[in-house]
A and B are shown apart, each in its own frame.
Chain A
Amino acid sequence: MASLYRGRDRVQLHLGMLPGLLVYVLFGIIPSVATAVISLTNYSGIPGLPVNFVGFQNYVQAFVLDSTGLLGSIRDTLVFAVSVTVIQNALALALAWLFTKRYPGRAIFRSLVFMPAALGVTVIGLTWALIFNPSGGPAANLLAVWGGNSAFFGSDTWAMPLVIFVQIWANLGFTTIVYLAGMNTVPGELYEAAKMDGASGWRTFRSVTFPMIAASTTVNVLLAAVGSLNTYDLIYVLTDGLYHTNTLGMYMFNTAFEGSSNLGLAATINMVEFVITFVVALTLQKFLRRREEVLG
């Protein structure tokens, strides 16, 4: 087979592969691995400053000297990621189930829910900042009906739940589409059988649909968990990590690119983020795959 391309064609075949490999090594592999190396240096964002190898000094800084900052950030990350993963999947399952029914406008409703996939964090973040404008607007008016008021994204109690809400709002459509694709592969005979047995809608969902879409659940839970553990772009727009929304990604970003621009310390925070993501992803994957085997 390999002899199909000879001479100039063979050169072209290899030449064509070069840019792709180069991009992958330079901008995929090297940065990925280099984070660990930079976490052992005092690299700063200011050009011209000397760079020294400082051993585990950044780790001591993060875990001991700044431990309240890091622990708070880990807590924020876990609160955010667990809430997003659980609620987003529960809502998407319910919504996908609604979208398997037959009624007018179904395609339009589905499109509306999926639309944020194209909008991006800037439009999404600013739109919700407008709706949750503390000095007037739909959210403030609604809250005023109950006699309340809030700074919303500028409030210690409300910022995190709202950031979780917007993150779910943005990704619900994607998760729903994946569940819907799974539900559409469930053989109709199973539903016929469930109906014959007189199973209720909820019973049918629990005993037929949900076990049959185990593969979609695995994908959705993993994507939501890994995605939310690493989210900071949306948070950057909504709160910039203030008011207890300082996820590890946000903490890393602000340490690297705002104020002190301490790249070495930021890389260390990034390493903590990687390790947590890795452990969570591995554990979830193991659990969900085993679940698939049991159900399949």
Chain B
Amino acid sequence: MTTSPSLRVRQRTAWGAFTLAALIAVIFYLGPMLYLLSVALQTPAQFLNNPVAFPHPILWSNFASAWNQATMGTYFGNSVLYAFFSTVFSLLFAALLAFPVSRRYVRGSQLIYLFFLAGIFLPVGLIPLFIESRMLGLYNNQVGYIILHLQYGLTFGFFIFVGYFRTIPTELDESAAIDGCGYFHYMWSILLPLIKPALATVGIYVAINVWNDLIGPVVFLASNSLYPLTRGLYTFYGSNQSDWTLLAAGVFIVAAPLIIAFIALQRYLVAGAVAGSLKS
């Protein structure tokens, strides 16, 4: 997001604004992350006496200890599995639903759209979901956990894709049909590549959302070996409440990939924030 050219004309470097923005960003946003890293590198002895000082000596082994003691490898694998599959399937289902509705290729397209629109105002029913998860055998297993996380990406994707498909000319559908290209094949090899920007924006939002979900694993999972990173870390916190150097290392291990993902994918997140807010 850049300032519009018309605004830029009248602007010289605003040092007052610079100072304020820098203070807020550095003290309140960079600061906590640096402090987290600093504690993660401290010895327990230093943390007890002087946690705010620079780590001396630097203790790298906190990371390895946290990784091993918290069995983060397992949690990490679960998180990747959950985020990947629930994102891929929810986006695929959303696209397969959004295309016919966007084109009004099926009867009741308008009705389906309204049906989804009404859903925006409906609350999340966590308790019925919990009961359903048990009835349908989705409780405490990996496939079930993924299925229970399809809903968010489906609705978000549906609205974005309905709009996006409208920008693709219908002539394309016709020429594909004339060439004898089957519908599923057309969706997979032509339509989905064409809506890639929308897939990326929605997909990144959904993946981060599923990855960061803490309530989901508390409600829908019971076995330690099935936990994603969020609940794994939270459980680790519960059993090491006072061991902050180890904990900070654990939190940092979980935060680091998210920070890297954020830096790499920031423009999609901004696009998603703006698109999501315009939707409502």
Contacts and interface: CB of A to CB of B under 8 A. Distances in A.
Contacts of B8: 102
B123 A274 contact: yes
Contacts of A195: 10
Contacts of B39: 130
A23 B32 contact: no
Interface string B226-238: 0001110110010
Contact of A122 (B12, B127, B233): B233
Contacts of A277: 123
Given A16-B97, A122-B254, A263 B29 contact: no
A47 B134 contact: yes
Interface stretch (B54-62, B64-72, B193-201, B212-220): B212-220
Interface in B14-73: 14-15, 17-18, 20-22, 24-26, 28-33, 35-36, 39, 47-48, 51-52
Contact of A19 (B13, B36, B96): B96
Interface stretch (A65-73, A82-90, A156-164, A176-184): A176-184
Interface in B247-269: 247-248, 251, 254-255, 258-259, 261-263, 265-266, 269
Contacts of B258: 118-120, 123
Interface in A109-165: 109-123, 126-128, 130-131, 133, 136-138, 141
Contacts of B248: 130
29 contacts: A4-B177, A16-B99, A17-B96, A20-B93, A20-B154, A20-B158, A29-B122, A33-B122, A43-B127, A43-B131, A95-B24, A98-B17, A98-B21, A101-B18, A103-B15, A103-B18, A109-B25, A115-B29, A122-B231, A130-B247, A136-B47, A138-B31, A138-B52, A184-B1, A184-B4, A187-B6, A219-B277, A222-B280, A223-B280
Given A105-B21, A138-B31, 10 more contacts: A1-B170, A17-B106, A103-B17, A108-B25, A113-B24, A114-B262, A118-B258, A130-B247, A131-B32, A188-B4
Interface of A: 1-2, 4-5, 8-9, 12-14, 16-17, 19-21, 23-24, 26-35, 38, 43, 45, 47, 95, 98-106, 108-123, 126-128, 130-131, 133, 136-138, 141, 169, 174, 177-178, 180-181, 184-189, 191-192, 195, 216, 219-220, 222-223, 230, 232-233, 236-237, 252-253, 256-257, 263, 266-267, 270, 273-274, 277-278, 281
